[in-house]
Chains A and B, each alone.
Chain A
Amino acid sequence: MTVWLFIGGTAVLVALALAYASRPKKGQTGVVLQSLSNEDHFKVQLAEIEADVKSGRLGETEAEAARAELARELIHHRSIAQAGLPEPSDRWVGPGLALASLSTVGLAVIVYAFIGTPDQPAAPMAMRVLEEGNPISFAQAITRVETQLLVTPDDIDGWQVLAPAYMRAQRFSDAADAYRRILELKPPDADTLTDFAQALLFDNQGVAPLEAIEALEQAVEMDPTHPRPRFFLAGDATRQEDWDNAITQWNELLSLATGDEPWLDVAKEGLSIAMARGELLPQKTIPQPSVLEDPAQAELIRSMVAGLAERLEQDGGSIEEWTRLVRSYLVLGETENARQAYEKALLTNPGAEERVELDALARDAGFTGENE
């Protein structure tokens, strides 16, 4: 409402100022707004010519010419005035000016009422910061830490503050760089590795790049009971439609649950999707992951796999057999073994066209990246 008070006040002031300036004048009031009549105008010019001659700006001959020209102009003007151009009537001036003053202000108020936003309050930074309860803005805080780290790039505490801040600011690429820096500065732990992978994942629109998978696998290795890396691995396997792997990962994750984790529902759903889709695929040589939940069964499978591995290593085998071995290791989560098996398979089967399935598997597991 105060906005309208101010707007109304301004409007009234302006209308009054216009009306005051155009009031009918008696005598010599309002000197400031007085303007010259025609005859006065020629007198002023004559005075200016004289002044110019005095100050040396105008030579005497030029001044003479200028005076003559001025006289001609004056005569010309008088002749026009006498030639009977009717003296303009000022009957309409008063009403016209009054109308102009009022309609101007009225027009402005109407236009403003249509296009203005009188109800929206101002929101300067100081006020927004108060509302958010922050003494300094978030961006400001980030910049401050960034600045500090340029000077002391080995300050691990700084990076540990900055990395999550980048995540919050949705600057995932910067966050990944920050986590990478942390991993360089201190021995890796499962948490940091997972954060790093998460940043890479987010930066890549949800598709985990090789570096992220490796970090997650390393995290799982370091702390097998840590749910977060498994969650991401399971999610990525599901996304890649690597159903067997996905089922394994979801199961592993669910085995860590105590019952009130926020990710529980997602994991259960993921598992059911993977199982439903996975059954459709004719990959019966692969042990059903659910079997792994039974320790005895798992042990049995492990020994079978070990047997297969031994046979292949000694006698060599078909590419299909190697492929099965690598996949088995992957399902069991024995990545390192799978990698070794894959590398041996490459040695015994140099023909690339036969290895299509194996190579695809290895690529998904992220092995080929290092061999290139």
Chain B
Amino acid sequence: MSIELGHFALILAAAIAVAQSLVGFVFWRIGGRATAFVRQAAVLQFLLIVVSFLALVQAFVLSDFSVALAYEYSHTLQPLLYKITSVWGNHEGSMLLWLLVLALFGAAVAVFGRNLPGDLLALVLGVQGALGAAFISFTIFTSNPFERMNPVPFEGRDLNPILQDIGLAIHPPLLYVGYVGLSVCFSFAIAALVSGRVDAAWARWVRPWALASWTFLTLGIAMGSYWAYYELGWGGWWFWDPVENASLMPWLAATALLHSALVMEKRVALKVWTIFLAILAFSLSLLGMFLVRSGILTSVHSFAADPTRGMVILAMLAVAIGGAFALFALRARTLRVGGLFAPISREGALILNNLFLSTAVVAVLVGTLYPLILQAAGGPMISVGAPFFDLTFGALMVPLLILLPLGPFLAWKRGDFIAVIQRLAGAAGLALLLMVVTVLLVGGQVSLATFGLLLGFWVAIGAIAEIVDRIRLGRIPFGQSWRRLKGLPKTAWSTALAHFGVGIAVLGIVSVSAWETEKVVSIGVGESVTLSGYEVRLNDVQQIAGSNYVAERVVFDVIAPDQSVRSAFSEKRVYTASRQPSTEAGILTYGLSQFYISLGDRDEEGNRVVRVWYKPYITLMWYGAVIMAFAGFLSLSDRRLRVGAPKTARQKPKQQPEPAE
């Protein structure tokens, strides 16, 4: 019964979304009662989708195979966690999760938007309602997760083994929060264009949402990269797979949006561009949805193909994106130009940042869509792989990273380039020194990698230098510097931290790309292979059984250069229900580096093919992403008060007699 109630709740949510968007668009200028209506509708829509989602989760947890989706993608023997994650390990269920996040954001805007002007709020929620109405209807009519089965099968067909992993519990929800959060920026942009209210305040309202989306996207992409790294057993962490690109493009656009919204908030410049980016970022996230769900391309991440769904999504995509950009073209001219600035200034630096980021979006977009377009036009079948992206994306990131530390040092409106260079000379020298020391330690010669290292150190140290400069360390007495340090606003910290994270990630990527070693050998029990000073001995082969799979577990002893011995386990699993095999790589972490063991087949003599990698400092790239995300949360925690009610803003002066918190 709860299933049917969940089904009804979803349909009702769709109807409410329709009403929400109609009322929002028709009565936005009235505000007042109409605004109250759309806010209530947004909250109700969220509650109903929660009911719907919980009903589906319950069906999976109880293995209720009268729900076709539960039969298709779960099994009675799955551990509880995977029964729950199986809910979104498929197209229909993941759509419902997507809708849940969309409704959550809509409700959040409704609840936190109390200090927004009533007309703007009605418009924003009207756009959110339209998105909700379109995508909930799409789910109900083309991919209904509540489809029933009669008679009820006794056993389910189980989830694809690759997905039976903790990664599925974390990666999609994080990513969806990121993708869908951008819908709020989109709605604000549409509302701004319709109402003509585009000012610094607009940027203030949008920034927290852009920041939240960006933070979750960062975490989601990093998590997805680590998941693919350990689960697929190919040793790689980024494949330039179209679906990975589909998540990278909104991230790049969101990064650009964060920075341009900063200019708009502080200097009331770049209005048109910021609005454009807000529309673009969400459009790219919809494009990603189309690529993943239409079956137009095959990828590790894509769902089973269904051309009908593809066409429907494409149509919705055309309406949403086309409509938004048409409105943009129509209204952008009426927006007034804001503050002036010199080419060399904080604004100028942020424009360059936006230029490189958006060009990178174009490069990735071209590389991702070119094979599809060529094939649709009857051209040859091609694939655009890592070499293309490494070249174009890499070339665009290099100048961005070189300029990155300079930006925060430049003053608004008019900056002094020479002075900034002088203030950063120390940081540049230190970065150079660190690079030389590293290269000497590794024993390599000068190459592209050494330049990459220099870039990484430069960005990371440049970020620290900004804090050092702000507290005037060494130029004023230490006690005063300390007080300044404690008094630094959180936004200063979050900027520096985020940039520091970028530098750290660059260091990880460069070192693993340049100094990774690998070997493929065939060894038997008791035999060993040596790689980069690590000796790997195949110690034992055991038969083990998990709850819904049986596996052959191979135990390796890894003897590190310091003679410490640790065990790594690689498994070849066969899942009972689907009879599908899956390989689990054995990974050992040494400090910041990792040792990775992937297992192949057994040959006639009982030897195993083993592929081992030594990945120096690889974890830095994920730590870098985590640092960036932490910076995002830090900045959000500071902004929390602003998104809240006007009361808190008015009380602020009383709460903060001294900037020391």
Contacts and interface: CB of A to CB of B under 8 A. Distances in A.
Q: Do A and B bind each other?
A: yes
Interface of A: 2-3, 6-7, 10-11, 14, 17-18, 20-25, 30, 32-38, 40-41, 43-45, 47-48, 50-51, 54-59, 61-62, 65-66, 69-70, 73, 76-77, 80, 88, 90, 93-94, 96-97, 100-101, 103-105, 107-108, 111-112, 115-118, 120-126, 128, 132, 137-140, 142-143, 146-147, 150-151
A34 B647 CA distance: 13
B644 to A, nearest CB: 11
The 8 lowest CB-CB distance pairs between A and B, nearest first, are A21-B40, A124-B62, A147-B545, A125-B63, A22-B37, A150-B543, A108-B12, A35-B118
Contacts of A101: 19
Contacts of B148: 117, 120
B33 A94 contact: yes
A11 B16 CA distance: 11
Contact of A18 (B3, B22, B40, B116): B40
Interface string B121-161: 10000000000000000001000100010101011000000
Contact of A100 (B37, B121, B267): B37
B18 A97 contact: no
B8 A45 contact: no
A143 B114 contact: no
Contact of B114 (A34, A77, A137): A34
Interface in B490-546: 491, 543-545
Interface of B: 1-5, 7-9, 11-12, 14-16, 18-19, 22-23, 26-27, 29-37, 39-41, 44, 48, 59, 62-66, 75-77, 113-118, 121, 140, 144, 148, 150, 152, 154-155, 196-197, 199-201, 204, 266-268, 336, 338-339, 412, 487-489, 491, 543-545, 548, 550, 576-577, 642, 646, 649-650, 652-653, 656, 659
A51 B550 CA distance: 62
Q: Which residue among B35, B40, B550 has the maximum number of chain A CB atoms within 10 Å of its CB? A: B40
Given A105-B15, A120-B148, A138-B154, A37 B266 contact: no
B653 A18 contact: no
Contacts of B268: 65-66, 69
Given A18-B41, A70-B200, A76 B336 contact: yes
Nearest to B61: A124
B37 A47 contact: no
Q: Which residue among A3, A33, A123 has the maximum number of chain B CB atoms within 10 Å of its CB? A: A123
A14 B42 CA distance: 12
Contact of B19 (A10, A33, A56, A104): A104
B152 A128 contact: yes
A120 B200 contact: no
26 contacts: A7-B5, A10-B9, A18-B41, A21-B37, A21-B39, A33-B39, A34-B114, A35-B35, A41-B115, A55-B652, A55-B656, A56-B489, A58-B266, A62-B412, A65-B339, A90-B30, A93-B27, A97-B23, A104-B15, A111-B15, A122-B59, A123-B152, A128-B154, A138-B154, A139-B77, A146-B545
A25 B8 CA distance: 32
B1 A97 contact: no
A139 B7 CA distance: 30
Q: Which residue among A3, A37, A97, A125 has the maximum number of chain B CB atoms within 10 Å of its CB? A: A125
Contacts of B9: 10
A14 B59 contact: no
Nearest to A136: B76
Given A97-B37, A107-B15, A122-B2, 4 more contacts: A54-B652, A54-B659, A96-B27, A112-B7
Which secondary structure dominates where chain B touches chain A? helix
Nearest to A76: B336
Q: Which residue among B27, B37, B41, B646 has the maximum number of chain A CB atoms within 10 Å of its CB? A: B37
B47 to A, nearest CB: 9
Contacts of B150: 120
A51 B12 contact: no
B659 A10 contact: no
Contact of B4 (A3, A18, A62): A3
Contact of B30 (A20, A32, A93): A93
A18 B37 contact: yes
Contacts of A56: 487-489, 659
Contacts of A125: 62-65, 76
Nearest to B65: A123
Contacts of B650: 47
Contacts of B116: 35-36, 41
Contacts of B154: 128, 132, 137-138
A58 B114 CA distance: 24
Contacts of B196: 80
A121 B1 contact: yes
A56 B544 CA distance: 60
Given A21-B37, A35-B31, A140 B76 contact: yes
A24 B20 CA distance: 18
A22 B144 contact: no
A287 B64 CA distance: 63
B646 A124 contact: no
A126 B34 CA distance: 48
Contacts of A105: 12, 15
Contact of B155 (A2, A33, A38, A139): A139
Contact of A140 (B22, B32, B77): B77
Nearest to B336: A76
Contact of A22 (B33, B76, B204): B33
Contact of A6 (B5, B23, B75, B76): B5
Given A47-B650, A93-B27, A11 B12 contact: yes
B201 A88 contact: no
B23 to A, nearest CB: 5
A25 B32 contact: yes
Contacts of B543: 150-151
A45 B487 contact: no
A50 B15 contact: no
Contacts of B1: 2-3, 6, 121-122
A33 B43 CA distance: 11
B117 A45 contact: no
A62 B263 CA distance: 11
Nearest to B63: A125
Nearest to A137: B76
Contacts of A122: 1-3, 59, 62, 64, 66
Given A36-B117, A103-B19, A139-B576, A54 B656 contact: yes
Contacts of A120: 4, 66, 148, 150
B149 to A, nearest CB: 9
A7 B268 CA distance: 50
A41 B35 CA distance: 15
Contact of B140 (A66, A115, A143, A151): A115
Contacts of B544: 150
Nearest to A57: B489
A48 B37 contact: no
Contact of B16 (A65, A104, A137): A104
A6 B22 CA distance: 27
Contacts of B30: 88, 90, 93
